Amino acid sequence: MRAPRRAEKRAPSVVLVNTGDGKGKSTAAFGTVLRAVARGWKVCVIQFIKSGKWKVGEQQSATALGVEWWTIGDGFTWDSKDMERSEAVAREGWKVSKEKIASGAYGLIVLDEITYPINWGWIPVAEVVEAIRNRPPTLNIIATGRDAPAALIEVADTVTEMRNRKHAFDRGVRAIRGIDF
Ligand code: ATP
Ligand code: MG
């Protein structure tokens, strides 16, 4: 039996993708945010879907830890009556995200739920991949959301697919404060 290969390379930064239809994509990203904060990195979370009005618990906790938190969505977009406006907001959000990625100011940027505006054709996946490829060498990136496009998976170093074995929601249990938001 061959001895397991030792991990010898020390990457200056990595790209993580949390995808799949089970619970845990965003919360795993926020768990990593906790680790990054402990190392003194500057961290920015950009949420592409959640409304700024609906302040999720993780936003309050992260902000208290000095994490920059930015919600660009104007609510759950699939409920929006004005899809054109939602698209414009998402594009504007991506523009700012690109600047933050290129800025060199951060050790970790979380692009939470970015797969949705990509899959709706609002943000070109090629642009996202290019921004990730050309990022400052020490910037780590985590992208989350269901149905991560192939190009995003390809540019990532670590891809995790959360599989839904069971979800309380399927039994009619609604989102729980402290667990789901
Ligand atoms: P979480 O934020 O809890 O880690 P997630 O990021 O994996 O979830 P999203 O698709 O972003 O999943 O889910 C947004 C909301 O829907 C969250 O409140 C989450 O708990 C809930 N949710 C996640 N997975 C499922 C599922 N399979 N069925 C129903 N609701 C779900
Ligand atoms: Mg999520």
Q: Which of 151, 47, 132, 139 is nearest to 93 (CA)?
A: 47
Tell me how many degrees the CA angle 30-67-64 measures, rounded to the nearest 5.
95
Neighbours of ion ligand 2 (CB under 5 A): 25-26
Q: Which domains does the chain have, with CATH numbers?
A: 15-155 (3.40.50.300)
pLDDT confidence band for 80 (50 / 70 / 90):
low
End-to-end CA, the chain: 46
Q: Helix (H, G, I), strand (E, B), or coil: what is residue 129?
A: helix
**Least confident residue range of 46-60, 61-75, 137-151:** 46-60
Residue with CA at minimum distance from ligand 1 atom 24: 23
Least confident of 8-17, 18-27, 66-75: 66-75
pTM for the complete prediction? 0.91
Among protein residues, the one with the nearest Cα to ligand 1's atom 4 is 24
* pLDDT of residue 54 exceeding 70: no
